[in-house]
Amino acid sequence: MSFVDELKSAVTPRAALLVVGVFALQLLFIASYVGALHHPRPKDVPFGVVAPPQVSASLVGKLEGLPGGPLDPETVTDAAEARKRIMNRDLDGALVVDPRGRTDTLLVASGNGTALSTVLRSVITTVEETQQRTVRTVDVAPASPRDFNGLSSFYLVIGWCVGGYICAAILAISAGSRPENPARAVIRLGALAVYSVLGGLGGAIVVGPVLGALPGSVAGLWGLGALVVFAVGAATLALQSVFGIVGIGLAILLIVVAGNPSAGGAFPLPMLPPFWKAIGPALPPGAGTWAARSIAYFRGNHMTASMLVLSAWAVVGTLVTLVVSALKRSPEAGAAAREGGPVRS
């Protein structure tokens, strides 16, 4: 055979298409991460203002008019209410004006990511200097000393996500990308569920008792981890059921390429560009990171939406996998059915 013939035999059209798909995935990976993280700027950060009535309106107006619109300020009744709303994750920070002195208090929550706390401190310090005032910072929900930049929650969730789609991919590679029948689909989902429970527990133990990186409930993180792993794994199984081996690439596109940079891990959501800020909460990495930080630093507050997102991925992935497996019939099964003979699974 000539070299051209060997090349045609070795490189099939299917293989060529898969390589092209990998190339496109690589470019999307670079574009997504660099696009989301290369120039973080705060935009419409929920921010409270506690000040006497005679200065409150003018101060809110001044903060609203800052170049680039970094803050979305609103009046809060008192410092206690501001702290409560920060702990409930309704606000990312607050300025408490002292009418009897020239030093005000900035409330932040570095447990939501120290990058945002640092930016708020810089913005408010600049504003205060124009008024010949100073500011002291109080961290209402401080990140653990062993949780550098508040990143441990993010990396924990990324680890859970990686486990979910790799487990699903291995199940597909070892036994075919599409389950032959509903029974096989249930077996795969059951195996994924067992893996999810163990993976969730392992991650919670590593970041908690072993490394001391995250405070909060180990049981709470365990439950969250099991849900994250299963949600990602079920979605991957569903994509494989519909698209075959290409489904693994689509799972990576959703979870890794789109989900990781938009998760609010390296930079909290208010610092991301609009596209990534919009999609992040709807994808498993973003929903999982938000929930993990709530468990670790915010007493489990404001988790309902993120848990619903993860549950939706788990339920839809499970249903699609079961439905596709029920619709699939092998040629032997179809022939046996037509002839009235036994149907083999």
27, pLDDT greater than 90: yes
What is the spatial distance between Cα 269 and Cα 264, in angstroms, rounded to a whole number?
5
As given in the structure block, the two tokens for residue 286 are 């973003």
Query: What kind and span of H or E run contains 249?
Result: helix 246-252
- Quick: pLDDT tens for 32-63: 999 999 999 999 999 999 999 999 999 999 99
Confidence bin at 1 (pLDDT 50/70/90): low
SS3 of residue 283 by DSSP: coil
Q: What is the pLDDT of residues 297-318, one digit of tens each?
A: 999 999 999 999 999 999 999 9
**CA 345 to each of CA 181, 182, 239, 322, 328: distance values in angstroms, whole numbers, following the listed order:** 7, 9, 22, 15, 11
How much is the pLDDT for 175?
A: 72
Spatial separation of the C-alpha atoms in residues 217 and 245, rounded to whole Å: 38
pLDDT, position 260: 96
pLDDT > 90 in the chain, percent: 81
Residue 222: band (very low, low, confident or very high) from pLDDT cuts 50, 70, 90: very high
